[in-house]
Chains A and B, each alone.
Chain A
Amino acid sequence: MSAARETMDDRRETASGDAPNGAAARVPQRAEARPAKRDRLQSRPLDLKRGRVDLAHGAGGRATAQLVEELFLAAFDNEWLRTMNDSATLAPPAGRLVMATDCHVVSPLFFPGGDIGALAVHGTINDVAMGGAKPLYLSAGFILEEGFPLADLQRIVESMARAAREAGVPIVTGDTKVVETGKGDGCYVTTTGVGVVPPGIALDGASARPGDAIFVSGTMGDHGVAIMSKRENLEFETEIVSDSAALHGLVADLLAACPRVRVLRDPTRGGLATTLNEIARQSGVGMTIDERAIPVRPEVAAACEFLGLDPLYVANEGKLIAIAPAGDADAVLAALRAHPLGANAARIGSVVEDPDHFVQMTTTLGGRRVVDWLTGDQLPRIC
């Protein structure tokens, strides 16, 4: 990570004897990844139990370098970070590159089924994957608020590291800034991802054609309702957990089985309804969907009912929308359902010709209505 390039100074600061109890003994996970002990910048390691972020952690001096080494490098450890350069040097892969970036300001930072760290990894991997690409590398930018507990930061960073390891996508560079108390809200995380598209795959939000079939990979609205259930003033008891997950494995399986898939997109903010409208507008088509075919967990439907929300507009973080020629419908559904993250996949409708680009829905009642873009913000800071 940047900022860590000052000459290593083995000068020891004084008074190692007054280190807080136990702090000196704390060894971060994967300690072998850290620079040799004699290179340590400060005599006392970060107090990851009781310590807090202060302005020095963002100033670019020793404190920044210490934060990077003892927290970020210890957790993310890989050959690129270990060089301690400002940037990662990567060999360009063959093929077309996909690049995506995603800012995360979710509140609360920790929620049922995830946290801002794992979400930041999943969110960007999914954006890269929706371009049909195999994600290769991530970068991570942190904006921390003065006073933020280091223990919470460690929890977030370790969750990110776990998500990145599980996804097989290393975090190869990053940056940290600190803002004064009151100028941030604890922790914001921005991630950027790079991936490469296999030959023969051409996904584009403008490619939906009349007659195509529309699919979702699972239940709608889980993430938004999980977040909502932990919001101040609104806490309610529920078993619902966020669906936050990296979808590149599901995408790889789907594209291997059905390379003619035309559009993939993850229905995050604005939910299914808004994402379908985006695609309809980009492709210059209309859509018709069937309310009865859209999978929604009963507990999510119930929560939406008493909160006055429509599950079609509630965010997802581990689901995708796929649009493919109708002739491939069976293969698409089979490929999605064969993967654990697509077990509840369903065909929900069709692409039609429509100069007004309306998304229309047949209701459970048998009536019809427009499914419009989200208006306003029914749920701020969902991701």
Chain B
Amino acid sequence: MKYVDEFRDGAVAQGLARAIAREAVAARRYNFMEFCGGHTHAISRHGVTDLLPSNVRMIHGPGCPVCVLPIGRVDLGIDLALERGVVLCTYGDTLRIPASNGRSLLKAKADGADVRMVYSAADALRIARQHPAREVVFFAIGFETTTPPTALVLKEARESKLGNFSVLCNHVLTPAAIVTILESPEVRALGTVPLDGFVGPSHVSTIIGTEPYEFFAREYRKPVVIAGFEPLDVLQAILMLVRQVNAGRSDVENQFHRAVSREGNAKAQALVAETFELRRAFEWRGLGTVPYSALAIRPGFAPWDAERRYALTYRAVPDNKACECGAILRGLKRPTDCRLFGTACTPETPMGSCMVSSEGACAAHYSYGRFRDREVAVPVAAVGGRTGVAA
């Protein structure tokens, strides 16, 4: 498949892997955090870890919107759907996030709530237009990439004076979360989480550019490489990080020149600025309350803001005591350090949010990597070659 196969080429990957192994200094360890769940998924799905030398370790970061959404926010959505009888529209994985009292949006749907999976914010707007007698709420989640489409439907709803549509906004910000990780006691004082650099998500930077990372790369002396989501992109970013560490540099570098610029997408940024403002604080699962880390809908759009429209009050709900999602999201623990992993908590019956989305650290390890947990791996037998029609 054109434009995909080129970025998954086995021979090029082996070349990059050799370069990383050659340049990584044997006497030291390299701990890099891939912030974004998309990278976690790509690394697991393509087996990128197998191509890295043992002294280069990837730590999974909190950049998975489903994983960091706190229970209390999901509860707001469930209550709207069950008690107010609204049509609640949201992206697929959101349906399975465990909420309080063993609930989830999927279970609310089975209990009779009108919960619908949509592929885009525009679909939610369309549903509102098709059902003028129903109240329709779009439960918006995601980082900077999914924010502009939400901004667009808010603008469209206001322009067309759509009276039965609103947005429950849970949009969060990448740089704020990275700063929180760098400010955490584990990283700053205790040194229990050694972090030598970040792989930054390219789709976020197509919107915000690379410039927002320059402050903390300088301030915290951590190199950042903005990388694409194909496995070769990730390998190349790792090589770039190894080189920065070796040279004692902490720059923001752009591996994804094919779509990312320093300034980002000015039009999308203006759209977001017009419709959203910074929240003073927002609770993240795993990171706790993070100042200025999320967006709220501007007062000018109040009639389309579900929080105002339904006078919603947020109630924080603690995670299951045994669940280690918080420590895993901060890079403090690995999925297998959690007692629930693979026993009480599996992709079919997730207890913690990291097991819900395929981008979550636990789900990725469970679905793609759990053979590594055995002491002796089963050897992979050589099999037949490529067939004519293979993509």
Contacts and interface: CB of A to CB of B under 8 A. Distances in A.
Interface size class of A (residues with CB under 8 A): 35 or more
Given A366-B47, A369-B46, A233 B391 contact: no
B92 to A, nearest CB: 9
A136 B390 CA distance: 35
A352 B378 contact: yes
B380 A367 contact: no
Contact of B389 (A295, A347, A354): A295
Given A301-B4, A344-B387, A366 B378 contact: no
Interface string B363-391: 10011111100100011110111111111
Contacts, number: 132
A372 B385 contact: no
Contact of B391 (A296, A363, A372): A296
A298 interface: yes
Given A295-B387, A356-B371, A365 B8 contact: yes
B162 interface: no
B211 to A, nearest CB: 29
Contacts of B49: 367
A268 interface: no
B387 A346 contact: yes
Contact of A292 (B231, B374, B381, B386): B386
Contacts of A298: 1-2, 391
B384 A293 contact: yes
A79 interface: no
A56 interface: no
B109 to A, nearest CB: 12
B383 A347 contact: yes
Contacts of A365: 8, 10, 13, 46-48, 51, 231-232
Interface string A276-320: 000000000010111011111110111001000010000000000
A236 to B, nearest CB: 11
Contacts of A350: 381, 383
A368 interface: yes
Given A297-B391, A353-B378, A376-B348, 12 more contacts: A233-B123, A293-B386, A295-B388, A298-B1, A346-B384, A346-B390, A352-B379, A365-B231, A366-B14, A368-B50, A369-B368, A375-B367
Nearest to B346: A375
B330 interface: no
B96 interface: yes
A296 B380 CA distance: 22
A348 interface: yes
A326 to B, nearest CB: 10
A370 interface: yes
Contact of A367 (B47, B366, B385): B47
Contacts of B370: 358, 370
B278 interface: no
A2 interface: no
A76 to B, nearest CB: 36
Contact of A219 (B374, B379, B389): B389
Contacts of B271: none
A234 B118 CA distance: 10
Contacts of A363: 45-47, 231
Contacts of B386: 292-293
Nearest to A354: B378
Contacts of B380: 288, 360, 362, 368
Given A288-B378, A367-B46, A368-B47, A347 B384 contact: yes
B383 A370 contact: no
A360 B231 CA distance: 18
Contacts of B348: 375-376
A134 to B, nearest CB: 29
B50 A293 contact: no
B255 interface: no
Nearest to A329: B384
Contacts of A366: 10, 13-14, 47, 50-51
A368 B9 CA distance: 15
Nearest to A288: B380
B347 interface: yes
11 contacts: A302-B4, A302-B391, A352-B378, A353-B378, A362-B47, A363-B231, A366-B14, A370-B368, A375-B363, A375-B367, A376-B347
